[in-house]
Structures are given as structure tokens and as C-alpha cells.
Amino acid sequence: MASMFKRMRESVMPTLKETRFQEKGVLTPEEFVAAGDMLVYKCPTWSWESGSTVRAFLPEDKQFLITRNVPCRERVAAIEYFDDNDELVAMDDGDDEGDGWVATHMDMGAGGEQLAAIADAMQPVSVPAVASMECSGSDSDSDIPDMDDFDDDDNVLEDDDDATAVFGGAGPSSGMEEANILMTRTYDVSITYDKYYQTPRVWLFGYDETGQPLSQEQIFEDISQDHAKKTVTFEPHPHSGIPHASIHPCKHSNVMKKIIDNLGLSGQTLRADQYMFLFVKFISTIIPTIDYDHTFDMEG
């Protein structure tokens, strides 16, 4: 019922036509595609997919982004995630007191020096000119926050769920049993455009060491406990209908607006087509052990 309500709500939501990226941190569908094109160009571990369900406000061959079989070698409980050096990105929108995102991997300190360095690295505006940005996972020749409670009990991936494929994928290969291969969990990570919130939305589908789909509780082992079962819920993927873990996008725009404002303090401007590079960075605060991010080092 909750998923049906969300689909109805999105169906009556008008499609954003004019840019409000600098003003509100949101994207039009065209800006989402441009940002996705930049990510795919710079980091070919990501690719565009069409999906079984096509949304008219996006090109048929660019419905969502996906990177497959990325490793997750350890559980979140095994790492020191939140320490005295981490900061909260305040998200005061009148809903709850003290909302925020853990800014583990980015320095949001005075002046936004590191964010300014990121913007410098992504200048000028033409795509060929940003070829110096590195994608450590690329095999191409040229190296081209705390969320509101969001409950959805209708679409939970049960422990005995028999889904065995996502978008034609089959999980890790059978060769994983070989003694010389490190056994590890893997994930398919996809990014869709959420028409209601006007931002990207991340979806996760995981496999265990033998290639079998992970249960809901197993996936929560790979999610920051500050966000598990609150920021992250289980819902059918909008382009396949298969239940995925989803990072709810209700405050993505607030986080991006905070980043835009910090860059502004240093006289820098973030373009909409650069959105994905920072987006995958702040999402990593929720899924810090899933090694999907092969864009340039933000702290370098």
C-alpha cells in the first residue's frame, strides 16, 4: 500500500523543468542525465541501463545508472565509523531537531577548503577538459545527515527470498569457489532519478560469498547503524520491481545545498553535471564498506 501511494504521489508531481540546482540542490531530469553522462565518461565502472519500466521524462536508454559486483569485504561493525573527527551536516528543515548527516569522508570545516579543491579539480566546464580526473576502477585507455523516519513494511526482502538476478546479472561467478580467490560479498549499486524529491536515489542488491542474494538482515550489516532501518528501507526497484535496499532521498537536496553553500564561501561554483562525483561521496557515509566509489580521492 505504501509503495502504491508513493507511485501515485509521484505520478501527479510535475516534472521539474527549470534548474534549481544552485538554489535548492535539486536536479531536473536533463541535469540528472548530464551528471550521469559525466560519471559514466569519467568512471566506466558505471553504465546506463534502460530497465523493464521506462519513465517518459528520461531517455529510454538512460533510465538509471548501475555498477555491478562491487566488493564489500567487511561488515560495518568491524570498522571505526563515527569518531571525534567526524562532523554532522546540519539539516534543519523544520521537521526534527538535530537532524544531520555524518560527514565522515568530507571536511565541511571553515572555508570549505577541501570542497573548493574538488571544484578546482573539475574545472573547466567542457567534458574533454576534465580528463585529468581519475577513476581508479576504470579500465579505459584514457583516464577519462540523518533522515526522517520512513517506514515501508509492505516490501521487505525476506530471508528466503528467491530472487537470483538483477537486471540480467547473476551475481558473482561460479569461479569464486577457487582457492586463490578471496571470498567476499558483492553488491549491485544503482542510481535512479526520484521525480518527487528531484534528486538521485541509490538502490542496493547484495550477494553472499557463494553468489546467493543477501537477506534483509545481512544487508543491514553493511549499512551504518546510524541509518539502518531508518534512512535505508526495502522497496521494489522502480525499473525492475525486485526488492532492493534503498537510501531514502528525502534530504539529499539539503546535503547538496550545504555543499554548494560551502563551496560558495570559497568563491567556487559547483555545476549540476558534477553532481554525481560529490553525491557518491556523501552516500558512502551510509555504506562505508561497499567499495563502489572509484572516482578521484576527495581527500587527496
Angle formed at CA 227 by CA 165 and CA 238, multiple of 5 degrees:
35
Please state whether beta strands 88-90 and 199-207 pair in parallel, antiparallel, or not at all (unpaired): unpaired
pLDDT band at 228 (very low <50, low <70, confident <90, very high): confident
Determine the average pLDDT of the residues in 150-172: 41
Angle formed at CA 237 by CA 234 and CA 238, multiple of 5 degrees:
130
Cα–Cα distance for residue pair 84/296, rounded to 1 Å:
25
For residue 211, give Cα distances in angstroms to 137, 151, 171, 173, 242. 22, 29, 5, 7, 17
pLDDT in tens, 165-214: 344 444 554 444 445 556 799 999 999 999 999 999 999 999 999 999 99
Q: Is the pLDDT of residue 113 over 60?
A: no
- The more confidently predicted of residues 51 and 29 is 29
> What is the percent of the chain where pLDDT is above 90?
48
Q: Which DSSP string corresponds to 191-235?
A: EEEETTTTEEEEEEEEE-TTSPBPPHHHHHTTS-TTTBTTTEEEE
Cα–Cα distance for residue pair 119/269, rounded to 1 Å:
7
* 5 HSE (CA, 13 A, CB side): 6
Provide the whole-model pTM: 0.71
Q: Of how many residues is the chain composed? A: 300
Answer whether 170's CB lies under 8 Å from 164's CB: yes
pLDDT at 79: 82
pLDDT band at 92 (very low <50, low <70, confident <90, very high): very low
* 137 HSE (CA, 13 A, CB side): 19
pLDDT band at 20 (very low <50, low <70, confident <90, very high): very high
pLDDT at 226: 82
Answer whether 252's CB lies under 8 Å from 285's CB: no
pLDDT in tens, 243-282: 999 999 998 999 999 999 998 898 888 999 999 999 998 8
pLDDT at 227: 82
Determine the average pLDDT of the residues in 89-108: 43
Cross-strand pairs, 207: 186, 213
Q: How many CB atoms lie within 10 A of CB 210?
A: 11
Cα–Cα distance for residue pair 102/112, rounded to 1 Å:
16
- The more confidently predicted of residues 109 and 194 is 194
Answer whether 222's CB lies under 8 Å from 199's CB: no
Q: Is the pLDDT of residue 229 over 80?
A: no
Q: Which DSSP string corresponds to 15-41?
A: PP-S--HHHHS---HHHHHHHHHHHHH
Determine whether 135 is an active site residue.
no
> What distance lies between CA 258 and its chain's CA centroid?
17
Q: Is the pLDDT of residue 81 over 60?
A: no
Lowest-confidence segment of 19-28, 47-56, 179-188 by average pLDDT: 179-188
Write down the mean pLDDT value for the chain.
Answer: 74
- Longest CA span, the chain: 55
pLDDT at 13: 73
pLDDT band at 107 (very low <50, low <70, confident <90, very high): very low
